[in-house]
Amino acid sequence: MNQDDTKYFTSANRLAWEEVAPIHRGHNQDRLIKAFGTPGFSCLDEIETAQLKALGVAGKDVAQVCCNNGRELLSVKNLGAARCVGFDGAQAFLDQGKELASVANLDVEFVCSDAYEIDAAYRNSFDIVTITIGVLSWMPDINGFFEVTSGLVKPGGAIFIYEQHPILEMVKPAGPDEPIFWELSYFHDEPYVETGGLDYYGGESYDAKPVTSFCHKLSDIFMAAIGSSLRIEDFAEYPHHISNAWYNVEKSDIGLPMCYTLVLRKSV
């Protein structure tokens, strides 16, 4: 995909993220303010916590690309990370993150930027870059995305990914008691437009701006990483659910992988 098309999709999606931010705030912010009032609070699950600790997160400079309201990055800071910088395209979510950082009394920098346009001043600045839960499918150009994120990592540093498994894109997201409806081929490679809004916390319907997402197969993700001078250091697939979408798959005994962790290492 060329840069103009990429910009077209990310700009349109950004408006939809800004639009839903106050709705998410209504569902989450009071609870998070209370949680981050407790020193050392972390919203990270055992798998992510263990992987970050194995990467030696304490004392490391960490960036999160597409950090949303910052709850995960603030948790990383509470694991002892040094400099923490969160990038996201939606200022309204970053404002929520700043409020949480203030409550938690944590020094975390939030930068509003399209992932493809992160300022060159941040190149080679981070020991660990994290990408988690619902990011890669918003990237129109997966190769370009890995080029940018690899550029943020210091030589010898790592990218840590904890994402929903792309095989889930085949299934229409639904509640736990709804049937599984196979919607897309795993090899679907056209932009996927939705108009139902982004309130995946409360399911509130509103007059939503359309959003466009993109199916990237695991092979696309691996090859994009390898093409950006990253080495696959660790990869694991898991049966548990980390998104806010496929409750029907989670409840079924169909046995699909639901998420994965991937550690990518940049050469020294």
Ligand X SMILES: C[S@@+](CC[C@H](N)C(=O)[O-])C[C@H]1O[C@@H](n2cnc3c(N)ncnc32)[C@H](O)[C@@H]1O
Report the site for ligand X in 67-86 (rule: CB under 6 A): 68, 72
Q: Are 60 and 73 in contact (CB under 8 A)?
A: no
Residue 133 interacting with ligand X (CB under 6 A): yes
Q: Are 176 and 247 in contact (CB under 8 A)?
A: yes
- Which contiguous run of DSSP H or E holds residue 162? strand 153-164
Residue 114 interacting with ligand X (CB under 6 A): yes
Residue 88 interacting with ligand X (CB under 6 A): yes
CB of 209 to ligand X, least distance (A): 13
Residue 10 interacting with ligand X (CB under 6 A): yes
As a whole number of angstroms, the longest Cα–Cα distance in the chain is 49
**Candidates 29-37, 95-103, 131-139, 146-154; binding stretch for ligand X (CB under 6 A):** 131-139
The length of the chain in residues reads 268
Residue 171: phi and psi, rounded to 5, are -105, 140
**Cβ partners under 8 Å of residue 46, min gap 6:** none
> Out of 36, 110, 138, 246, which residue is the one contacting ligand X (CB under 6 A)?
138
CB of 92 to ligand X, least distance (A): 9
Residue 42: count of CB within 10 angstroms of its CB:
19
> Out of 44, 52, 66, 128, which residue is the one contacting ligand X (CB under 6 A)?
66
> Out of 19, 85, 108, 134, which residue is the one contacting ligand X (CB under 6 A)?
134
Specify the DSSP class assigned to residue 62: E
Q: For binding to ligand X (CB under 6 A), which residues are involved? A: 10, 13, 17, 66, 68, 72, 88-90, 93, 114-115, 132-135, 138
